[in-house]
Amino acid sequence: MTEDQKQAYKEKYLRAKHNGEHFFPDTIYKDLIVAFAIFLLLVGLALFVGVASEPRADPSDTSYVPRPEWYFLFLFEMLKFFPGNLEWLGTTIIPAAAVLALLLLPFFDRNPARHWKKRKFALGFMGIVVLGMVALTVRAAVTTPVQQESTVATTVAEKIAAGQDLYSVQCVECHGAEGEGGVVSGVEGLEGVTIKAIHTQDEMYTRNDDTLFNIVDYGQPNLGMPPFGKGYGGELSRSDIEYIVTFMRYSWDDRAELPKEAAQASAIPALGPDEIPSYDTHIAPLVKRYCVSCHRSGKENNNYLMTSYDQVMNSGDHEPNIVPGDLNSNLIRMLHREDIEAGGPMPPTKALKPEYIQLFERWIKAGAPQTTTK
Amino acid sequence: MTNKKVFNWLDERLGLTAIYKTIFERKIPKVNWWFTLGSATLFLFALQVVTGIMLSVYYVPSPDKAYDSIEFIMSGVAFGWLIRGIHHWGATLMVITVFIHMLRVFFYGAYKYPREITWVTGVFLLLATLGMGFTGYLLPWNQKAYWATTVGTSIAGTVPGIGDFILRALRGGDDLSGVTLARFFAAHIWIFPLLIIILIGVHLYLVIRIGISAVPGKND
């Protein structure tokens, strides 16, 4: 800008100011309205959208799909266009050039005009850049693989419930449904090994949560317990192990008081004298807690899988294990600890409580329905 | 009467009337609603400072405790969920307002004479805001935070020549650890806020001294 242009601009600006408004109250009034609207928007977002809960950081979980915060997504996406040996172009040169260009903009943009009609190149260029950023962000959002859903428990009750589910699958085959231990059967490499009870006062009082966490995480190799943490070849994430420890503490430690809602959530639903039991409400929770640990794929179980109604009714080398209406079904005989062709007593270590066996019997007598329709 | 005396005594020494006249009674050109974005960003920053200070009362910057302390804020502290919710969404909104504010300034050519320095401080404010976002993202120490920061810092590590140094300086070692969390925390609550406050001071001083730009007419 020449000195004349500067002078002309100053004069014009002074006139605009003269014909303008007062900062107080005219301008500040608009600012306050916007600020108030923003505040309401934020409270609304906090109330109705909230902050999504995420599982605890787990350096060993390499399956996690990392994503930067959304406003860095365009940079992240841009990097995909640079092959390995040119990566530094995308990570260093382009961002550095962009920042430098922004910083020095008033010094290399020598065009004195301010109205958009006289600045078509500058505005067009910026428009393309902004559109490119938006397009890259959208592209990143669309191409992001869906994150594997993991349950995030936030309340103690939710943690206990999640822990119980995980315990049922991962731990029951050796430690028993109540942590009672016993002689292991049907587990590769540990056949016939006697495992001590882990639900005793002695165990609970002498091991704190960190110790329990580490035992699950690392295992106890000398005693035959394999590691369960993801970092050591197991299936459990940090959060998973935390839930199991919470479940053990609240279920077995007599110093911990089980929250009411947790007790309700984990209770096997009671059955009235005239009520017909159904798989979905009554049998599934029992199966989940006492059977699934062994009766799932990848375990030694004569191919009898119990993770869904169809599998419970129709799978296994000796199917059918359940014949609706027949109390001589394999399942009932084995629950009564008979040794038959289909297999030995079930569960191997300890009989189910009589009322649970009764529940199975009433269910089969009623025709083994999946749901009860009234 | 006495009120007036007290005020006059203070005014004589502090120059209150002069400050009031400079800031509040100044005249500015007629402008539209797009010109509220700067003050909106300032408001958001103030909100982030207030909610951030509240969060720091309960937050513990250690890998063992960070996740639990935030869980406690969300479920154990009265209105903790609201404070964290505002801080979380305020960060997102602040990035948006900063960005649109910048586009507004660009569109009206407001970075030109005599407001070049205002623009330069604005660009630094944009960078500092992004720095706040980057460092704040790690603090909850959850999966998303951990892996986003792992990737983010490794991208910084690809800078030719000094990449390895930058990577180790950011992480405080070869891998993400408690050291990383501690320095991100320090950057998030001390270094960047201090930078931002100083830059806002200069930015606002210039805005008041030079005056905000007018909407350009056809002949400008």
Neighbours of A46 (CB within 10 A): 22
In the three-class reduction of DSSP (H, G, I as helix; E, B as strand; rest coil), residue A111 is classed as coil
Length in residues, chain A: 374
> Is the previous residue joined to A347 through a cis bond, with omega within 30 degrees of 0?
yes
pLDDT at position A169: 84
Contact B121, B202 (CB under 8 A): yes
Contact A286, A360 (CB under 8 A): yes
pLDDT at position A373: 63
Q: What is the CA radius of gyration of chain A?
A: 33
d(CA A1, CA A110): 7
| Domain range A64-143, CATH class | mainly alpha
Q: A39 contacts in B (CB within 8 Å)? A: 43, 47
Say whether A24 and B24 touch across the interface (CB within 8 A): yes
Residue of chain B nearest A94, judged by CA positions = B159
Whether A64-143 shares its CATH topology with A155-263 is answered no
- A290 in contact with chain B, both atoms CB, cutoff 8 A: no
Say whether A31 and B40 touch across the interface (CB within 8 A): yes
ipTM of this complex prediction, to 2 decimal places: 0.94
Task: Give kind and range of the element (H or E) at residue A199.
Answer: none
Residues in A 16-45 with any Cβ partner in B closer than 8 A: 16-24, 27-28, 30-31, 33-35, 38-39, 41-43, 45
pLDDT at position B176: 93
Low-confidence ranges of chain B (pLDDT < 70): 1
Say whether A56 and B142 touch across the interface (CB within 8 A): yes
Q: Is B141 exposed, middle or buried (0-12, 13-18, 19+ CB in 10 A)?
A: buried
pLDDT at position A155: 81
The rounded average pLDDT for each run of 10 residues, N- to C-terminus, in chain A (374 residues) is: 89 90 90 96 95 86 81 89 86 93 94 92 95 94 74 80 87 85 77 86 91 92 88 85 92 84 72 80 82 79 84 84 84 85 78 83 86 66
- A130 in contact with chain B, both atoms CB, cutoff 8 A: yes
From the centroid of its chain, how far is CA A238? 11
Tell the CATH superfamily of the A155-263 domain: Cytochrome c-like domain (1.10.760.10)
Say whether B151 and A76 touch across the interface (CB within 8 A): yes
pLDDT at position A150: 64
Angstroms from B58 CA to nearest CA on chain A: 17
Say whether A123 and B175 touch across the interface (CB within 8 A): no
d(CA A64, CA A97): 32
SS (H, E, C) chain B: CHHHHHHHHHHHHHCHHHHHHHHCCCEECCCCHHHHHHHHHHHHHHHHHHHHHHHHHHCCCCCCCHHHHHHHHHHCCCCHHHHHHHHHHHHHHHHHHHHHHHHHHHHCCCCCCCCHHHHHHHHHHHHHHHHHHHHHHHCCCEHHHHHHHHHHHHHHCCCCCCHHHHHHHHHCCCCCCHHHHHHHHHHHHHHHHHHHHHHHHHHHHHHHHHCCCCCCCCCC
CATH number of B36-210: 1.20.810.10
DSSP A101: H
Instruction: State residue A28 phi and psi, 5-degree precision.
Output: -65, -25
Whose tokens are 């923003």? That residue is A38
Q: For chain B, give every domain's residue range.
A: 36-210
Measured between CB atoms, which of A18, A46, A88 is closest to B82? A46
**Interface contacts A/B by beta carbons within 8 Å:** 221
List the structure tokens of A139.
């592209």
pLDDT at position A281: 82
In the three-class reduction of DSSP (H, G, I as helix; E, B as strand; rest coil), residue A110 is classed as coil
Q: B159 contacts in A (CB within 8 Å)? A: 88, 91-92
Burial A234-251 (b: 16+ CB within 10 A, else e): bebbbbbbbbbbbbbbbb
